[in-house]
Structure 1
């Protein structure tokens, strides 16, 4: 597996892009998690809108969403991933090889462990506008009673965002 903080290596042929995002619902004492995994043509392989536990801030919510998204991806059988999120602090924390001594260090360690178990991985911090589909799925979790998963199907709550993304390809 490629070390996420060392030299660049070209991706293997079957690499999928995982986008994740979190939404903090402070009045509800919970968060929303949005995950989408697409192939190199932009086609949806799997997507998830999930309920997360409460978080003290957006960085904590993003890290918890990243961990949950990676667990989801691994359970679905993905082993070569480009992992993208829009929170610079979260992406920097998981991409670094330095120890994380913050109160979120155990979550960062969990994520790093999951990434190191993949065949190939790369992390990218992207702008918020490039993460709209995952954001819409995270927001959609606000009123869910249980997690929703879509397999090889475009998630209806994010159709407009997906259409916009595809038009940019």
Structure 2
């Protein structure tokens, strides 16, 4: 079965017009080369942190898989190594047939996320989405691990994820937002650099900028505004009448969602807000205003983060 995989060398011998050489390093492509010997594959394995003895060649790989599966303590390592080999093969297919090129780090992280999924057998009373931590919670609740993922908005809604980044003690920073549709497609993403700003101030500015773009540029009337800062989410929910603040941006947000808009402000853990976090960090290091209108314009690193969200990769946190 191992040798039946359709490598470039096999497809070339069948007369399909595909070069026999590996598309990454130019050497004749065998299965062993794709999974273990190619410089791109080796870089992927190195990102995983799996011992080199396990992926040096096919014989050692199969031997280590059997050894790891024999013990419950190393069973998960066998799953992760197998997922890594599978993801390397899928990435090779995408590269060969000109679908997309993925970085070794991205493939290694995809394998890690897939390997985690069989472990997610948790009690039915624990949801797989992030609970809102703005409200109070029972002091009797013990620490536990929760599993969650970024979720696309419901039909007819746009979801605006937002975040702020502060550097050098607040002397400079950045804000970022990402707007996606119910199919997880990026409608717009943008941000700008700020100076002399606090963390809550940067996050609030990011929420305002993302909502403003959704309402005034995209003309959206059904919006979910989502961020990791429970404090800022609380301010937005309370509005300018809340006891915490009467900030002009809070008042402007209230005006934007008052006129016929279907609006929700929701909390998500930071780990599921990675796309907006990346944009905010990017903006903090670049002067001016950045705006990407659609997926094709996005930087590769940001596209990879969003691809994880699209796949529904599950994150974990102890709460």
TM-score range, shorter chain: 0.7 to 0.9
Pairing 1:109–2:237 present: no
Native 8 Å contact 1:33 1:50 kept in 2: yes
Instruction: Select the structure with the greater relative contact order (CA < 8 A; seq sep ≥ 6).
Output: 1
The structure richer in strand per residue is: 1
Shift of 1:148: 1.4
Hey, what's the Cα distance between the residues in 1 that align with 2:239 and 2:285?
A: 37
Alpha-carbon spacing, 1:145–1:98, altered in 2? closer, same or farther (3 Å) = closer
Alpha-carbon spacing, 1:163–1:12, altered in 2? closer, same or farther (3 Å) = closer
Higher deviation after alignment, 145-154 or 17-26? 145-154
Hey, what's the Cα distance between the residues in 1 that align with 2:221 and 2:288?
A: 26
Secondary structure in 1 matching 2:273: helix
Q: Which residue of 2 aligns with 1:65?
A: 206
Pairing 1:130–2:272 present: yes
Pairing 1:159–2:300 present: no
Alpha-carbon spacing, 1:32–1:103, altered in 2? closer, same or farther (3 Å) = same
Shift of 1:28: 7.1
Alpha-carbon spacing, 1:132–1:59, altered in 2? closer, same or farther (3 Å) = same
Native 8 Å contact 1:52 1:65 kept in 2: no
Native 8 Å contact 2:235 2:245 kept in 1: no
Native 8 Å contact 2:163 2:175 kept in 1: yes
The structure richer in helix per residue is: 2
The equivalent position to 1:84 in structure 2, one of 194, 219, 226, is 226
Max Rg structure:
2
Pairing 1:145–2:145 present: no
Shift of 1:132: 0.4
Hey, what's the Cα distance between the residues in 1 that align with 2:246 and 2:163?
A: 17
Shift of 1:29: 2.4
Shift of 1:85: 0.8
Shift of 1:98: 6.9
Native 8 Å contact 1:80 1:118 kept in 2: no
Aligned residues: 158
Shift of 1:96: 1.8
Shift of 1:99: 1.7
Hey, what's the Cα distance between the residues in 2 that align with 1:33 and 1:22?
A: 4
Native 8 Å contact 1:23 1:138 kept in 2: yes
Q: Which residue of 1 aligns with 2:172?
A: 30
Hey, what's the Cα distance between the residues in 1 that align with 2:245 and 2:271?
A: 29
Higher deviation after alignment, 65-74 or 104-113? 104-113
Alpha-carbon spacing, 1:109–1:48, altered in 2? closer, same or farther (3 Å) = same
Unmatched tracts of structure 1, length 5 or more: 1-10
Q: Which residue of 2 aligns with 1:5?
A: none
Please give the TM-score of this superposition, normalised by the length of structure 2: 0.45
Native 8 Å contact 2:228 2:269 kept in 1: yes
Shift of 1:23: 0.4
Q: Which residue of 2 aligns with 1:94?
A: 236
The equivalent position to 1:74 in structure 2, one of 206, 215, 221, is 215
